Structure 1
Amino acid sequence: MVMSASSLVAEAIWKQIDSTHTVNDDQLWTLHFLFGKNFEGATRIVDQRGVTKISAHPSGRFIYQVTGESRRKEQYLCFAENFCACYSFFYDVVNRGEQLCCKHQLAARLAASLGSYVEVKVSDEELAVLLSKI
């Protein structure tokens, strides 16, 4: 897979944030430039503690559950780097290619980098059942 220049810049910034578990104004500005309104939504979700990391034992596999911003407060399962179960992911990212990722993926990535998520531990079997519903 060939990564776009935008993806490479974003990846470099995520690595910086991962290494320090903090985010500075320059990094926030650049991520906002790359992701626009999706990044704004993601920061609101993270600020509201809307990201849960569901970790399976004993495998260590995990997925994020991200609360949406609509009044319904729907929960979306996502892998930060490459998948979200929301409509926007399929419409804007996969079908139209207009976005690099959706706001739920960004929220999961930001929360993971900053360590600002709630963690829930489940069995491998429970995670498998959860994944089978996607």
Structure 2
Amino acid sequence: MSGSGGSSSSSKEVANSIWEEIESAHTVTDHQLSVLHFLFGKNLQKAAKMVDQRCVKKIAGEPSGRFVFQVVGESRRKEEYLCFPEHYCGCYSFFYDVVNRGEQLCCKHQLAARLASSLGSCEVVNVPDDQLALLLSNL
């Protein structure tokens, strides 16, 4: 999805309102899926598949409660990407399609993390804050 900042901004607002609805109900309707598919295209289908295959973990630091998501990619290598659903992913697509070319609002890993989190369907792994800090220092 390309376009001016206004188009991108309004798309993000629509997406955020849909995510809030999903989070409050912990379920997703066909209508919500169709709107998200319109906004995110093929990345949404790939993200939903990753959520169905339980590829998303929420790594939470204790006692701070800070967290990052770890998403297992689709490739045969099963690479693990750390991401913040609204801001960052360590994958190639994030840098190429989102940051560099501005063609997507986010990558499939960010979508998978957001969807799993909104549905309450990701595994939560609690770690000490210093271990979380070490993990994040490798980004």
TM-score (norm 2): 0.94
Indicate whether 1:96 and 2:110 are aligned. no
How many residue pairs get aligned? The number is 134
Alignment partner of 2:115 out of 107, 110, 115: 110
Residue 122 of structure 1: SS of its match in structure 2?
strand
**Which residue number in structure 2 is paired with residue 10 of structure 1?**
15
Q: C-alpha offsets along residues 46-65 of structure 1, whole Å, 9 cap, x if unaligned? A: 00000000000010000000
Percent identical across equivalent pairs?
Answer: 66
Matched, 1:120 2:120: no
Cα shift at 1:117 = 0.5
In structure 1, how many angstroms separate the alpha carbons of the residues matched to 2:66 and 2:9? 28
The answer as to 2:76 corresponding to 1:42 is no
Alignment-derived partner of residue 61 in structure 2: 56
Query: Could you tell me how far apart the structure 1 residues matched to 2:109 and 2:115 are?
Result: 10
What displacement does 1:5 show? 1.5
Is residue 19 from structure 1 mapped to residue 14 from structure 2 by the alignment? no
Q: Name the SS for the 1:97 alignment partner.
A: coil
CA distance in structure 2 between the aligned counterparts of 1:119 and 1:58, rounded to whole angstroms = 14
Q: Relative to structure 2, which stretch is displaced further, 92-101 or 1-10?
A: 1-10
TM-score (norm 1): 0.97
Task: Measure the CA separation in 2 of the matches of 1:6 and 1:110.
Answer: 17
Kindly provide the CA deviation profile for residues 20-75 of structure 1, in whole angstroms up to 9, marking residues without a partner as x: 00000000111011100111110000000000000000100000000101111100
Q: Name the residue aligned to 1:80.
A: 85
- Could you tell me which residue of structure 2 aligns to residue 70 of structure 1? 75
Moved over 6 A (4+): none
Alpha-carbon RMSD: 1.2
Q: Residue 55 of structure 1 aligns to a residue in which SS?
A: strand
